[in-house]
């Protein structure tokens, strides 16, 4: 079907509203929207804007967000401010704000922030629908933990669910792939009762020394969606639980083998890839030991299937490496190779210089076994693939 099309230009679009950068979760909070400023600076410094269409999307509206989210939740989210917030209020805690961890703080401009990143994902999805783009990119999105009436894990609005809902208007089957180090639980939950979306997440899974499960604590290999045979969504989720310290070769093999099998069996007409950069080595919250090019290998692998692709961001808590990775992956999409020496005449160049910050190059070695020893043996990784293949048998008749 795809091979029959006559050759034509390959279009990549970049959907970005710079106002997203100016929001702050709080000084000690690991989620830093200015990592998007760094990303944009690298993309521009390498001249990648000449290889794609740039869009500055408007913020999503209340009604657009209500296609997935509950109106009572949206009313709360759109009205709450640091000044009027009552941290002991029932609604406040029930909707996932504040709490002991303060994962989802109420900060200035919160509503503005969520409508901007959501508007960008929806704008990107529309570009795929009207065939203006083959690949549409929104690095400000990918907030995969948000539920219809609950903020969770730094995520308030689930822009991924909203974008997939748009893609479903013209696609019979959408594949969602998630390489953020955390389980893509919100997207999985939103589509658990349909066979028109297949969700595949790779993530760290397990109990830590302190007795807490790695967030959000779900996504074991046996979690494949609903178990009721009458539920159409049965078997339409695949979770790949991974231990600390996985290296490039293991991850690349795991990703290529499992993702390839899912695409072959499910045959999606559109793909959404959440490319959370917290699966890199040296991430402040992550546990893996991936280098930038191994992370980018996942993007390249998916892109090469030639289906309409929505590429979105997600986690990523060491900003300089988030920027490096998303710049590299933008280049992968347009088919450009980037030189390793960073252009020096760029704003914020100091963020990338010095041995601590990656020595002024695009591809520093991030593999660090001192920080996270590799607990994944090759035998374990092979067993995981075997179990994943076994799970995929549910997709057959
Ligand atoms: C998509 N890890 C989001 C990932 C969300 C992870 C968590 C923090 C954290 C929050 C802070 C903060 C932090 C240094 C790190 C279960 C608890 C934590 C018991 C004490 N510093 C994405 C969410 C995760 C907030 N949450 O997938 C303000 O780390 O683990 C938890 C929750 C509650 C119970 N406590 C442990 O990447 C974007 N939060 C500093 C300030
Ligand atoms: Ca994941
Ligand atoms: Zn994450």
Atom of ligand 1 nearest to the CA of 25: 28
Q: How confident is the model at residue 7 (pLDDT cuts 50, 70, 90)?
A: very low
Residue-wise pLDDT tens digits, 182-237: 999 999 999 999 999 999 999 999 999 899 999 999 999 999 999 999 999 999 99
What proportion of the chain, given as a percentage, has pLDDT over 70? 97
Residue-wise pLDDT tens digits, 321-337: 999 999 999 999 999 99
Q: Pick the residue with more confidence: 344 or 118?
A: 118
Q: How far is the CA of 294 from the centre of ligand 3 (A)?
A: 17
What proportion of the chain, given as a percentage, has pLDDT over 90? 93
- DSSP classification of residue 12: E
Mutate to test the pocket of ligand 1, among 103, 145, 188 (most ligand atoms within 8 A of CB): 103
Average pLDDT over residues 275-297: 98
Atom of ligand 1 nearest to the CA of 316: 37
Tell me the residue length of the chain: 397
Q: 0.95 exceeded by the pTM?
A: yes
Average pLDDT over residues 61-75: 98
Domain 12-395: CATH class, spelled out: alpha beta
End-to-end CA distance of the chain: 23
CB neighbours of 300 closer than 8 A, spacing ≥ 6? Answer: 332
Return the ∠ at Cα 346 (arms to 115 and 300), rounded to 5°: 65
pLDDT at 8: 55
Nearest ligand (C-alpha, residue 313):
1
pLDDT, mean over the chain? 96
Region of 147 (left: φ > 0; alpha: ψ -120 to 50; beta: rest) is beta
Atom of ligand 1 nearest to the CA of 155: 38
* Ligand 1, pocket residues at CB < 6 Å: 28-30, 100-103, 143-145, 153-155, 180, 182, 212, 215, 276, 278, 285, 314-315
Distances (CA, A) of 331 to 271, 289, 327, 338: 19, 22, 6, 7
Instruction: Yes or no: say if 26 and 107 are a contact pair by the CB < 8 Å rule.
Output: yes
Atom of ligand 1 nearest to the CA of 184: 27
Nearest protein Cα to ligand 1, atom 12: 29
Nearest ligand (C-alpha, residue 218):
2
Average pLDDT over residues 76-91: 96
Q: How far is the CA of 229 from the centre of ligand 3 (A)?
A: 31
Half-sphere exposure of 124 (CA within 13 A, CB side): 37
Nearest ligand (C-alpha, residue 105):
1
Q: Nearest to residue 292, comparing CAs of 276, 274, 280, 278? A: 280
Strands (E) across 189-263 are located at: 197-204, 237-242
Distance CA 320, CA 348 (A): 10
The catalytic residues are: 183
Residue 6 pLDDT exceeds 60: no
Residue 374 pLDDT exceeds 90: yes
Average pLDDT over residues 257-282: 98
Residue 1 pLDDT exceeds 50: no
Question: What ipTM did this prediction achieve?
Answer: 0.96
pLDDT at 56: 98
Q: How far is the CA of 182 from the centre of ligand 3 (A)?
A: 4
Q: How far is the CA of 213 from the centre of ligand 3 (A)?
A: 14
Residue-wise pLDDT tens digits, 86-110: 999 999 999 999 889 999 999 999 9
Q: How far is the CA of 216 from the centre of ligand 1 (A)?
A: 9
Average pLDDT over residues 10-33: 97
């Amino acid at each position: 079907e795809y091979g029959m099309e006559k050759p034509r230009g390959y279009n990549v679009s970049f959907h970005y509203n710079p106002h997203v950068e100016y929001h702050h979760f709080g000084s000690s909070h690991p989620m830093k929207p200015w990592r998007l400023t760094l990303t944009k600076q690298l993309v521009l410094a390498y001249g990648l804007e000449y290889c794609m269409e740039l869009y500055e999307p408007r913020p999503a509206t209340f009604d657009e967000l209500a296609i997935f989210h509950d109106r009572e939740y949206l009313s709360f989210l759109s009205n709450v401010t640091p000044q009027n917030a009552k941290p002991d209020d029932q609604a406040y805690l029930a909707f996932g704000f504040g709490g002991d961890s303060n994962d989802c703080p109420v900060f200035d401009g919160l509503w503005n922030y969520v409508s901007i990143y959501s508007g960008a994902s929806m704008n990107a999805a529309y570009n795929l629908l009207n065939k203006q783009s083959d690949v549409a990119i929104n690095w400000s999105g990918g907030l995969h933990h948000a539920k219809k009436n609950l903020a969770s894990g730094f995520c308030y609005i689930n822009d991924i669910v909203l974008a997939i809902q748009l893609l479903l208007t013209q696609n019979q089957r959408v594949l969602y792939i998630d390489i953020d180090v955390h389980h893509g639980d919100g997207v999985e939950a939103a589509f658990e009762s349909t066979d028109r979306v297949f969700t595949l997440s790779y993530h760290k899974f397990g109990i830590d020394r302190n007795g807490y499960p790695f967030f959000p604590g779900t996504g074991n290999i046996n979690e494949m969606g609903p178990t009721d045979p009458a539920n159409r969504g049965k078997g339409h989720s695949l979770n790949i639980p991974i231990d600390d310290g996985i290296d490039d070769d293991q991850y690349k093999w795991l990703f290529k083998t499992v993702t390839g099998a899912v695409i072959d069996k499910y045959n999606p007409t559109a793909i959404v890839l959440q490319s959370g950069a917290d699966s890199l080595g040296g991430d402040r919250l992550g546990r893996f030991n991936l280098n930038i090019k191994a992370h980018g290998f996942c993007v390249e692998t998916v892109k090469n299937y030639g289906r309409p692709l929505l590429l979105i961001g997600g986690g990523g808590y060491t900003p300089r490496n988030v920027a490096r990775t998303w710049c590299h992956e933008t280049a992968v999409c347009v088919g450009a190779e980037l030189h390793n020496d960073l252009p020096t005449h760029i704003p914020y160049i100091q963020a990338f210089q010095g041995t601590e910050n990656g020595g002024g190059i695009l591809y520093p070695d991030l593999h660090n076994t001192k920080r996270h020893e590799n607990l994944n043996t090759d035998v374990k990784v092979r067993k995981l693939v075997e179990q994943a293949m076994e799970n995929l048998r549910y997709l057959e008749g």
